[in-house]
Amino acid sequence: MLEEREIVVNELAQGLRPMPQGVAWFESLPDEERRLVIRELVLFCGQARAAPQDAADAIARSGIRPTHTQAVMLTRWRLHMAALPAYDLTRAFRLLIALLGIADARRRRRHCADGCTHPWHRLAGRRATE
């Protein structure tokens, strides 16, 4: 069973939920939970096999400037963004959602095209039945 935050971040990464809604959700969380979401996103990106060559596309997709701290960290493959100051967490969230979306889409094409048992790959059907 997926936690609510796992559902939200995967819906965002898959384009099933609009980013402004996701940002509003993220910003409504207490600081410690926002940091937990960032740590989980880093973990999910690793599980989806995100790679350093995805950085430029993730920066472009996220809409943050390449000179922002989070973007620079990503280009150097420094993903421990939960330690950033609170005012930087929303940008880290947007960037990591973009990175997860890129890596997970590639993973789905390569490894899950013929079906899989990943509950986060069945979210579109879940929303249709709610």
Report the predicted TM-score, pTM, of the whole model to 2 decimal places: 0.85
Q: Residue 125: CB partners within 8 Å, gap ≥ 6?
A: none
Give the count of beta carbons closer than 10 Å to the beta carbon of residue 89. 21
SS3 content of the chain, % helix, strand, coil (to 5): 75, 0, 25
Question: Which residue from 108, 80, 89, 85 is spatially nearest to 10, judged by alpha carbons?
Answer: 108
Alpha-carbon gap, residue 60 to 63, rounded angstroms: 6
Contact 64, 99 (CB under 8 A): no
Q: Which domain holds residue 99?
A: 4-129
> Model confidence over 36-84: pLDDT tens digits?
999 999 999 999 999 999 999 999 999 999 999 999 999 999 998 999 9
Q: How many domains in the chain? A: 1
Tens digits of residue pLDDT in 118-129: 545 455 654 433
